Structure 1
Amino acid sequence: MGSPDQWPHTIELTGQISLEDKKASAYRMLPLDVPEGIIRIEVEYSFSRDEPGGLWWEAGNILDIGMFDSRGSEFLSAEGFRGWSGSACRGFFIALQEATPGYLPGLIPEGRWEVILGLHRILPEGCDYRVIIQLLPGGTSCHRSMKPFESPVLCKEPGWYRGELHCHTHHSEAEGSLEDLVSTAKAQKLDFVAVTEHNTVSHLPELAALECHDLLLIPGMEITTDGGHANVWGIDRWVEFRCCDQDQMARVVAEAKARGALISINHPKEMGPPWTYDGESEFDCLEVWQLAWFMLNDQSLALWDRLLCEGRRLTAVGGSDYHQEPFTGELGAITLGTPCNWVYAEELSVTGILAGIRAGHVFISENPSGPQVFLSAIFNGQEVIMGDRLIVNPGAEIQLSCFVVGAASSLLRIRSSEKDLQVTVGGDEFTYTWKEKVDRETFFRIEVVGISESDQPTVRALTNPICLRLLES
C-alpha cells in the first residue's frame, strides 16, 4: 500500500446478493484492512434497483449499512460497533472527533474492520452492490473524549410524570437534531423522553453532554429487525440487533435484562411492522399504542389483552415513534407525546421512571393534555393501583375505583378477563366505584373511549390492569 503519509487509499468492495443469500442470513459482513495512522474513514455505497417507496410500501432493493472496527463484531459480545444508518443515506464518515449521525467518532484502530450490509429487501433478480471506502491518513491528533452518561435526579418527589418512550432524531433517519427533540418535548410540557435510535447509540454521547435540568433524557435504542422491532431503555452502550431467528432474539432479550435495561415489543400490528418472533412473555413491556389510535392499534391491544388473559403480564406502553423534524416553534397533530405515557415514580430519574414502568404503574393518554385515568382497588385496608397485584381470599369482596379527568361525555369501559362494563363519564372530574366478588383469578383495566369525527369509537386513554390473585389455602 505504501506509506500512510503518501495516500488516501481507496478500497472497492463489490458483489451480488440473491434471495437465497437473504434466506441464509439477513446480514453480509465485508472485511477490510485498516493500517496504522488513519484518522478518517469515508464510505459510500450503491446498489441495483435502488428505487424509492412510500411510508407503507417498498419498491426496489433495500440494503442497510453500518460498520464495526477491529475490536470485533461477534454476535452479542461485539466491542467494535461504530455505527449504523440503515438505508437513510448512501454514505457516512468516521473521524477522530466527529462522525456522521448514527456513527461513533473516536480512535481508528488498525486491523480488520467490517462493513455490515443489512439485506432488508432483495428482489427476485438479486441485488448488485458497490461499496467505496476512503482511508485518510494524518498526523497525531486528539480524539473526542466521550463523557459517560450519568442519570440526574430532576425531582425527588413521588408522583405521576408524563413522557415519551419512542422517538428518533437525525441519528436515525429523521431530519431534526437532539436539540430539536428537546425543544419539542418542552413545548409539549413533557417530563421525560426516551430517545430510541434505530440500531445505534451514537446519540448517547450527546445525551451525556446535553445539560438538561427540566427534561429527563432516557438513553435507549430500537432493535430493528426484519422480524419486528423492540425498544430497550436504560442502556449505557450498544445493544445487539442482528437477530435472524427466535433463538438469537431470546439471547438479546436475556442480555438486555441482565444489564438492568427494560425491553419492549414495538407496534405488533400490520404495517407496524408486525412482530413475528415468539416468546412475548420474556419481554417487560408491549407497545399497545403507536401514533394515532386509528392506525391499527386495536391489533396491538388485542395481543396484549390475550397475553393478560393467559396470565402473562407485560406493562402496556405507548409511543409516538416520532421522527423529529427541525423545530419551528409549532406542533403538528402527530408529534412527540402523542400518545403520552403517565408513569407513577418515586422520583424523576431514569431509575425512577424505569422502576415505575417495570411495576406497571402506567396509563396512556392520547396526548399530554388528554384524559387522565387512575385505577385503584382496596381490600382489608390495603390499597393498590394499576400495575399491582392484589391477593385476596376466595369469595372475598373488593372495592375498585376509577377517577377520570378531562373526558366528559366519553365512555368508561371496564374490562376484565370475564366481562366488560360500560359507564358514561358524567363530568370533567368523574369517579366510578364498584364492588366485585372474587372467586377466580382475573384482572381489571380501564379504557376511556370517545367518538371520532367519522363516528367510530376511538380509545382516548387506557390503564394497565390491577391483577387479582387468590390466596392459596
Structure 2
Amino acid sequence: MDRANLRHLGVVASLGMAFAVLPAESASASPSGTAPQAGPGANEEVRVITGRFEPGAPDWGYVPVDIPAGVREIAVRYSYDRPATPPGVPGNALDIGMFDNDGDELGNAAGFRGWSGGARDNFTISRSAATPGYIPGPITPGRWNVILGPYTVAPQGLEWRVEVTLRYGEPGPAFVPHYSPTRISGRGPGWYRGDLHVHSVYSDGKRTPAEVAAAARARQLDFFVSTEHNTQSAHAVWGDYAGPDLLIVTGEEVTTRNGHLVAAGLTPGQWIDWRYRAQDGQLPRFLREIHRSDGVAIAAHPYATCGACDWKFGYEGVDAVEIWNGPWTADDEQAVTLWDGMLREHVQGKGIRRWRPAVGSSDAHREPQIVGLPQTVVEANELSRRAILDGVAEGRSYIAESAEVKLEMSAHNGLFHAGIGERLLALPQSLVGVTVTVAGAPGTTVRLVTDRGEAYTFPVASADPATFTWTTFARDAAYVRAEVRRPNAEAVALSNPIFLGLVHPAQ
C-alpha cells in the first residue's frame, strides 16, 4: 500500500497517530418509520466512523467517505471526548473540514469544499446551498474526505466520532454567487478608512454578513476585507451588502499551526491552503498565489497569545505587518518594537531588502468586539480594490483607533516634499522640516521616532487640530514616523515612516 493510502487510513505509525477507521455502519431513517434501507433507492444513508488521535499526532487526518451516484446532499456531524486535564495542560480541541473527489493534495483548490475549524459541530453541502464556511456545488460520485485537525490533544488522547448522512434525490438548482464590486465609482483621490481583518459567521465569528456591513458603516469605514479562517465561502454573498458607500474586498485568514496570514484582495472565490508549518518551506508558494491575484499578504498579530497564533515564518515575501490588532494590548506594543527594528535593519542594509509597512485591524469576531478598532487609513487615487491594496503595500497609510482621529505628516526641505510612506530626497547636510497635524485626540502626546530612537515629543492639548513642525538634518534621521499616545502609553494613532535622504543602495 502506498503512503497516500496509508495517510488516508491514518496508520502512519512514524507520525505517532493511531487513527482506526472502523467499518461503516449504514442505516436509513424515514418519517414513516419503515425498515432501514441503504443505497440510491433510500431517502437517507448514515455512516459512522470512529477513531483516535494520540498526543503528538500530526496536524491533519483524513477520513475517506465514498459517495455513490444519486446523492443530493451530504450532512456531517462530529464529536469528540473532552477529558479533564491538569492545570496548564491543554485539553482536546478538534477542527473539521471537507474535500471532495477532486482531491485533497496541498494547494488543490478544486477539491476544497469547506472548513469550519472548531466553530460548529455539523455542516451540510449540496448543489444549491451549504453551511457557512462550506462551498455549494455538485455532489459528484467518488471518494471524498473529511479532514480532521487535532488542534490540541490531551494526555489521555482524543476519541472522535464522525457521522456522515447521505441524502438521495434530485439535485436542486445551482448556487449563483453574488460577489461584491471591486470599485466604487465617483470616489476619487483621498484617504480611505478600512478594516483589513474581519470575521463573520462564515468562519468562527458571530456576526452575520449584514451585521458586519452595518458595523462597518456605523464606524464610518469606506472599506473592509472579508478574512474568514481558511475558507473563501463568504466571498459569494458580499455583493448583497456592498454599496456606493462601502467597498468589500475578498480575502482569507490563512490560519496555519505556525501563525496567521491575512490574504487581502484575493480574486473572488480564490482559496489559499493553510496545511503547512514554517519548517515545511511552503509559504513562498502560497505567497506567489496571493501575489498572482494582485493580493497583499499581511503577517497577522505576530505576538498574539492564543495557541498557534504567533507568527513564525519570518517576513521575506510578506507585504505588511499587522502591528495593532483589536484593543491596544501588550502584544501590540511588542509588535511595534519588532516592526521598528525591521525598519532600522532596512535602512542600515542589514535586513530584508524591501521595507514592510505597518497596518492595524480589528480582527473582530463578535460583540462586544468593535469593527474598525483600529482602522487603517489609506491614501488611494480611488476607492477600489486595486488602489487600496496598492496604498497598503506602499505604506501610504496610518492606523487610528476611530474615524474621529486624523493624522497628517509630511517632510520638506525647500525643494522636495514627501508624505507618509514616501521618501524625501535630501543631501545629508540638508535641513528637513517634518510637520504633523493631529485631530480628534486631545490630551495625547505625539512622539516622533527615527532610526535613532525617540527624537521629539509634542503635547496635544485642547486645540483641535494641533499642528507642529520639527526640524532635523537628513543625516540624523534615516526615517521618521509618528505615534500618538495617551498618558498611559496606549496608542491612539501610528503612522508609517517617511524616509529621508538619498536612496540607500539596499533599497
Q: TM-score, normalised to structure 2's length?
A: 0.85
SS at match of 1:457: coil
- For residues 484 and 324 of structure 2, what CA distance do their matches in structure 1 show? 14
Q: Which moved more, 1:218-227 or 1:393-402?
A: 393-402
* 2:125 aligned partner: 94
* 2:316 aligned partner: 281
Does 1:233 pair with 2:264?
yes
* 1:184 aligned partner: 215
* 1:329 aligned partner: none
Q: CA deviation at 1:192?
A: 0.9
* 2:392 aligned partner: 357
Q: Which moved more, 1:385-394 or 1:335-344?
A: 385-394
Does 1:6 pair with 2:42?
yes
Aligned-residue identity in percent: 33
Contact (CA 8 Å) 2:181, 2:242: kept in 1 or not?
no
Does 1:128 pair with 2:164?
no
Matches within 5 A, 1:250-329: 250-272=284-306, 274-311=309-346, 312=352, 313-325=355-367
SS at match of 1:384: strand
Contact (CA 8 Å) 1:35, 1:111: kept in 2 or not?
yes
Contact (CA 8 Å) 2:260, 2:311: kept in 1 or not?
no
Q: Which moved more, 1:258-267 or 1:61-70?
A: 258-267
Give deviations 1:179-201, integer Å, cap 9, x for gaps.
01111111222111111111111
SS at match of 1:165: strand
CA RMSD of aligned residues (A): 2.4
> Given the superposition, is the C-alpha separation of residues 472 and 160 from structure 1 closer, same or farther in structure 2, using an over 3 Å criterion?
closer
Does 1:29 pair with 2:62?
yes
> Given the superposition, is the C-alpha separation of residues 140 and 46 from structure 1 closer, same or farther in structure 2, using an over 3 Å criterion?
closer
* 2:74 aligned partner: 41
Contact (CA 8 Å) 1:177, 1:324: kept in 2 or not?
no
> Given the superposition, is the C-alpha separation of residues 129 and 78 from structure 1 closer, same or farther in structure 2, using an over 3 Å criterion?
same
Picking from 101, 109, 112, the partner of 2:140 is: 109
Aligned partner of 1:62: which letter? A
> Given the superposition, is the C-alpha separation of residues 251 and 448 from structure 1 closer, same or farther in structure 2, using an over 3 Å criterion?
same
Contact (CA 8 Å) 1:394, 1:471: kept in 2 or not?
no
* 1:328 aligned partner: none
Q: CA deviation at 1:202?
A: 1.0
> Given the superposition, is the C-alpha separation of residues 379 and 40 from structure 1 closer, same or farther in structure 2, using an over 3 Å criterion?
same
Q: Which moved more, 1:283-292 or 1:385-394?
A: 385-394
- For residues 9 and 410 of structure 1, what CA distance do their matches in structure 2 show? 65
- For residues 233 and 340 of structure 1, what CA distance do their matches in structure 2 show? 15
- For residues 471 and 233 of structure 1, what CA distance do their matches in structure 2 show? 29
- For residues 69 and 209 of structure 1, what CA distance do their matches in structure 2 show? 28
Give deviations 1:383-418, integer Å, cap 9, x for gaps.
211111233333333222111112233211000111
* 1:145 aligned partner: 176
Aligned partner of 1:432: which letter? F
Give deviations 1:121-143, integer Å, cap 9, x for gaps.
11122211111111111125322
* 2:248 aligned partner: 217
- For residues 165 and 320 of structure 2, what CA distance do their matches in structure 1 show? 43
- For residues 233 and 155 of structure 1, what CA distance do their matches in structure 2 show? 23
- For residues 69 and 197 of structure 1, what CA distance do their matches in structure 2 show? 20
* 1:196 aligned partner: 227
Q: TM-score, normalised to structure 1's length?
A: 0.90
Q: Which moved more, 1:72-81 or 1:140-149?
A: 140-149
Say how many residue pairs are matched: 456
Contact (CA 8 Å) 1:345, 1:353: kept in 2 or not?
yes
Aligned partner of 1:177: which letter? T
Contact (CA 8 Å) 1:263, 1:285: kept in 2 or not?
yes
Q: CA deviation at 1:289?
A: 0.7
Larger radius of gyration: 2
**Larger RCO (CA under 8 A, 6+ residues apart):** 1
Contact (CA 8 Å) 1:180, 1:324: kept in 2 or not?
no
* 1:434 aligned partner: 470
Does 1:463 pair with 2:495?
yes
- For residues 125 and 471 of structure 1, what CA distance do their matches in structure 2 show? 59
- For residues 375 and 88 of structure 1, what CA distance do their matches in structure 2 show? 43
Listed as ranges, the gaps of 5+ residues in structure 1 are: 326-331
- For residues 336 and 196 of structure 1, what CA distance do their matches in structure 2 show? 13
Does 1:400 pair with 2:434?
yes
